[in-house]
Structure 1
Amino acid sequence: MNINFLPWREQMRRQKIFFVLLGGAAVVAILYTHHFFSVLERRQHASIEAYYHRLQRVKMQTKSVPLAAHNRSPKSSLQSRWFALKHVDAKYILKLFDNKDNHVFSTRSSLLADERTNSLFVRALPDELSMISGIIQHLDVVVPQILIEAQIVNMDYDYEKSLGVRFGLTVGKDLSVNAPIANANSLGVALLNLTQGTQLDLELSALETQGKAQIISNPKLLTENQTMATIEAGEEIPYQESVSQGMTTTAFKKAVLQLQVTPQIQSDHKILLRLKVNQDKRSSQEIQGVPAIDTRQMTTQVLVNDGHTVVLGGIYEYTDTQAVENIPFISNLPFLGKLFQHHKNTKERKELLIFVTPRIVPS
C-alpha cells in the first residue's frame, strides 16, 4: 500500500478555495432569501392595500344598496289615491301637508288639490299614503257650529239698572252696568244669568213699547267653532275728496258699530268668547272738509255657559231737549202770550247695550 501525502501548502490552498466557495454560496443564499422576503412583503403589502381599497368600495356600494333595493322593491313603488273630502277644505289640507318644516313626506311624494270637487290627489309611498289617510280621517270631521244671537239696544239709563237687578246681572270688574259710571267713555262687559232668550226678548219688547228702549238691530249669525263672526250697523258719511287738477270725487267714511265674536267650544260645553267692539261716531268737527270720527274700542274675552248671555256696554248718549207748548194765536199776544206757553226741558242719558248669546248647534 502506497500512501501519498500532499504537501501542506497544497492542503492549505484547497481549504481556502473550499471556504471561499462556501462563503460565496452563503452570500448567494442570504441575498436570495432577502430578495424572496422582499418580494413577498411587497406582494403582501399590495394585497393588503388592494383589500383596503376593495373594502372601501364595498362600503360605498353598501350605502347605496338599501336605497336602490328599496326603490326596486315592490313595497316602495309610488301609489296614487284620490281623497274626497266632505267637511274640510282641500286647500287647507294641501297647505298643511305642503309645509316644508313638517318633514312628513319624501321628495318623491306629490299632492294636488282640486277645488271644484274638493278632493285631494296624493301620490306617495305606501307607508306615507297610509299616514296621510289617517290624518285626513282625523281632520275631515264635522266642525261644531255656534249660533250667535245679538241684540243692539239703546236703553234709558234708569231702566237699564232695573233690568240688571231683575235678571241677576253678574258684573265684570271693568264695568258696572247697574251703577253710575264715572267714565262714560269706557266700555265693559257683564253676564246675565239667563238660560232662555225668551225672557230677555219679552223684556226688551216691553221696554220698547213703553218708549224706554229702542232695539236698533237683532242679527243672528251661524259660525263654525273658532271662526270669527262680524256684526256691523251704522252709516257711511259722504265727503268730497280732492283727486288731481282741482277735480274732486265722493268718498265715504264709516261711522258704525262693529262687533266681532270668535267663539271656541271648551271641553265642559262652555264657550269662550273673544269679543271686540268698535264704536265709531261722527264727530262735530271737520278737518279740511273731512268729517272726523270719534272711536271707542274694547277687546276682551269671557267664558260663558251654552245659551247664556253676555252684555257689552259703556257707550252713552246724552240729550238735552227744550220744547215749548203753547196755545196758537193767544200765545203770540204781547205780554199775555207767555201765560199760555209752557217750556219743557228734558235731559236724558241712554246707553247702548249689546246682548250676545252663543248657542251650540247640535250636529
Structure 2
Amino acid sequence: MNYQQTYRCTRLSALMLALLLSATGCDTINVFSMSALTKKIRTKDEPTQSSEQAPDKINAIKQYNAEVIKLLKTADDALNRGDLDLAEQSFQALKTLDANHLRAAEGLRDVSARRIHLTLLDEAKSLLGKSDDQDKIAAAKLRSILVENPNHTEARALYKDLITKQDAKRAEMLRKRLSYKNPVSLQFRDVGLKVIIESLSKGTGVNFILDQEISSTQKATLFVNNVMLENAIELLAQTNQLRMKILNENSVVLYPNNPTKIREYQDLVIRSFFLEYAEPKLIGSLLTSMLGIKQVQTDDRLPMIMIKDTEDIMGLAEKLIASQDIPDPEVMLELEVLEVKRTRNLDIGATWPNQLTLISPAAGLTLRSLENINRDKIGVSPNPSVVFNGKDSDVNLLANPRIRVKNKDKARIHIGDRVPIITSNVSSTGVISENVQYIDAGLKLEVEPNISLGGDVNIKVNLDVSSIGTATKTNSGSVVYQIGTRSTNTQLRLKDGETQVLAGLISDEDRKNVSKLPGLGDLPLLGRLFSNHGDEKTKTEIVLSITPHIIREKNTPSAELAEYWIGSEAQAGRSFKAPTTQEGLAKMFTVGRPLGAPATPAAPAAAPAEKPQGLNVPLSPELSSAIERIRNIR
C-alpha cells in the first residue's frame, strides 16, 4: 500500500508541475515525461514495509487527495473561463493517473459536448434572420443545446429572442385583417347565401371558402349601409349560425357554428400570466365565471395562471387580470398605550398579643394535667408594637409601537409575560403527569384596518390588559394564578394622520383592614390604642392613542380596465369589431356609435395629484443629521 500511494503521489506531483507549465505558456502537458519521472520509483527490491512507515503512508494519502482536488479545481476554472483545451488536458492527465476516475470521465464528456455546442451555436448565429425556415432550423439547433445544458447563457438568450420574434409573428398572423378598407352597402332579402357570398367576392375581390356542411339552399336577409366589409361578413355569419375565419388579407372561411367545426377551425393559444398581488385561484375562478374559459391552470408557487383559448379571449383575460392584480393598500399605525397606576397605603395603629399558649412539659400533656391548669402553665408573648407607615407609589407603563399592516389584515401586539399554568393529572394506576400551559398576561392589542377610497381608515380595535393576581395552591400542589382583565372592542373611522385617544378603562380599588382586640378596640377614642387600621387605595387607568398614516392608497382600475367590451354571451370576444385588430378595444369604448363609424378619441384623463410618499412627521435632529450624512456619501 505504501508503494502504491507513494507512486500515485509522485505521478500526481509531476502532473501538477506539467499543468502549471502549460498554464504559463506551454501548449500541452507532457504525460510521458511524467511517466518517466515516476518510473524511477518503481523498483522490485523495495524493502518490506514496517509499522514505522504508517505515518508516511497517511501523509502520502493526504497529499494525493489534496493534489486531486487542486487538479479538479484547475479543470473546473478552465471550463468556467471557456478554456476547453486546458480543461481537456487537466481531465486527461487525471484520467491517465487513475483510469477509473469518474469525475475525469465526466469532465472529458463535458468538454466534448461543449465543443459540439459551440459548433451548433455558430451555425445558429449564421442562420438567424435570413428567413422563417432558417429561423426554425436555428431554433432547433439552440434547443438541442439547451436540452443538454439548460444553463448555457448565450444559447438561452438567443433562443428567447428568437421565440419572442416567432410569437410576435404568430400573433400577427392571428390578427389578420382584410385588405379591403372601403365601406360597403348591401341589400338582400331572402336571397341564397351563396349568391350573397358571390356578390361580395366579385365586388370586393375577397376570396370566400365555404365549408362543405353549409347548405346550398340556405337563404339570408341582409340590409347594411356604409359599413366595413369585416363587419358585414360578421353580421352575415352571426345571423345564419355561421362563423368566419380570416386566412389572410383577401381570404375568408365560413363554417357552421357547432362545437365540432369550432374545434376544427378555431386557432388556440396558450399563455402564461405571472401574478404579483392577486391569488391565482381567485383569478382562475373569475376567468371561468366571467369569460367562460374552461382550460385554466393555476400555480401558487410562482404564482402563475395558464390559459388555453383563442387570441380574442386572451385579450379580454389580460384586461380582467390587470384589473385584479393590483397592490393592496397599506397603512402605518402609530400607537401609544399608557397605563397609569397609583397606589396609596396607610397603616396606623398598635398591635397587641392576640393569642395564649399552653406550656406543655417534656412528657406532654395529659387529661389529668389539664385539671390543674394555673397561670404558671399559660404562656403569653407580650410584644406589642405601634405602627406608623404610609406608602405611595406611581407606575407609568408606556408602549409606543409602530406597525405597518396591509389592508384588511390583522396586526397583533403583545407586551407582557407568558405565565405558566401547571395542571396535574392522576391516572388510574397512580401515575401523576403534569401539563404546562401558558397564559398571556400584560397588554394585548389587535387592530384590523380597512382603507376606503376617500382616504379614511376604518380600524377595528381589540384591547386587552391583564395582570397577574394572587397565587393559589390546590390540594394536589399545583399553583394557579388569579388574572385580572380589562378589555374593550371598538371600531373607528379616522382620516389620514388623525389621532384618536381611547380612555376610561379605569380600575379603582379601596380596601380597609382593621386588626383589634375584642371589646377594647371598639371603645370610642381609646379604641385606636388597641387596634391597627390599614387603608389601601389603588387606581389604574389605560389610555390608548392611535394615529393611522396611509403608506399606499387603495388603487382602482383605470377606465379602460373598469369597463370594456367582451362581445355576446354565446361568442365572448367576437362581435362586429374584433378586439384583436390593430385598433384594439379603444374604438369599442364609445357608447352608441353607429355600426362601422369611426370612434371618437377620448379626452386624455387628468393626471392624478401626486401624494408624497411616506409619513409626514418631524424627524429628530439625530435622524436628520444621519440622513444628511448618507446623502453626502451618495
Q: So what's the TM-score if we normalise by structure 1?
A: 0.52
CA distance change for structure 1 residues 296 and 97 in 2, over 3 Å: closer, same or farther? farther
Q: Secondary structure at 1:68's aligned position in 2?
A: helix
Contact 2:499/2:547 (8 A) holds in 1: yes
Question: How far apart are the structure 1 equivalents of 2:472 and 2:284?
Answer: 52
Question: How far apart are the structure 2 equivalents of 1:247 and 1:304?
Answer: 52
Q: CA deviation at 1:276?
A: 1.6
Equivalent residue, structure 2, for 1:256? 442
1:247-286 matched pairs, under 5 angstroms: 247-284=433-470
Question: How far apart are the structure 2 equivalents of 1:156 and 1:293?
Answer: 17
Question: How far apart are the structure 2 equivalents of 1:268 and 1:303?
Answer: 12
Q: Secondary structure at 1:152's aligned position in 2?
A: strand
Equivalent residue, structure 1, for 2:262? 70
Q: CA deviation at 1:360?
A: 0.9
1:222 aligned residue (389, 404, 413): 404
Percent same amino acid among aligned pairs? Answer: 19
Question: How far apart are the structure 1 equivalents of 2:472 and 2:282?
Answer: 47
Higher relative contact order, structure no. (Cα contacts within 8 Å, ≥ 6 residues apart): 1
Contact 1:151/1:215 (8 A) holds in 2: no
Q: Secondary structure at 2:319's aligned position in 1?
A: helix
Contact 2:416/2:442 (8 A) holds in 1: yes
**Considering only CA atoms, is the larger Rg found in Structure 1 or Structure 2?**
1
CA distance change for structure 1 residues 344 and 300 in 2, over 3 Å: closer, same or farther? same
Stretches of structure 1 that go unaligned for 5 or more consecutive residues are 1-61, 158-210, 323-342
Contact 1:149/1:218 (8 A) holds in 2: yes
Stretches of structure 2 that go unaligned for 5 or more consecutive residues are 1-240, 243-255, 343-392, 513-532, 552-612, 615-634
Question: How far apart are the structure 2 equivalents of 1:321 and 1:254?
Answer: 28
2:499 aligned residue (289, 294, 309): 309
Q: Secondary structure at 1:70's aligned position in 2?
A: helix
CA distance change for structure 1 residues 226 and 132 in 2, over 3 Å: closer, same or farther? same
1:144-293 matched pairs, under 5 angstroms: 144-155=329-340, 214-243=396-425, 245-284=431-470, 288=474, 289=478, 290-293=480-483
CA distance change for structure 1 residues 286 and 213 in 2, over 3 Å: closer, same or farther? closer
Matched, 1:94 2:281: yes
Q: Which amino acid aligns with 2:504?
A: G
CA distance change for structure 1 residues 242 and 303 in 2, over 3 Å: closer, same or farther? same
CA distance change for structure 1 residues 126 and 101 in 2, over 3 Å: closer, same or farther? closer
Q: Which amino acid aligns with 1:240?
A: I
Equivalent residue, structure 2, for 1:119? 304
CA distance change for structure 1 residues 250 and 283 in 2, over 3 Å: closer, same or farther? same
Q: CA deviation at 1:359?
A: 0.6
CA distance change for structure 1 residues 299 and 317 in 2, over 3 Å: closer, same or farther? closer
Number of residue pairs matched by the alignment: 224
Equivalent residue, structure 1, for 2:292? 105
**Greater Cα offset, 218-227 or 291-300:** 291-300
Q: Which amino acid aligns with 2:422?
A: Q
Deviations 1:149-179 (A, max 9, x none): 111111368xxxxxxxxxxxxxxxxxxxxxx
Q: Which has the higher strand share?
A: 1
Q: CA deviation at 1:222?
A: 0.5
Equivalent residue, structure 2, for 1:357? 547
Contact 1:105/1:128 (8 A) holds in 2: no
1:134-153 matched pairs, under 5 angstroms: 134-153=319-338
Q: CA deviation at 1:221?
A: 0.5
Q: CA deviation at 1:94?
A: 1.8
Q: Which amino acid aligns with 1:229?
A: A
Question: How far apart are the structure 2 equivalents of 1:126 and 1:101?
Answer: 16
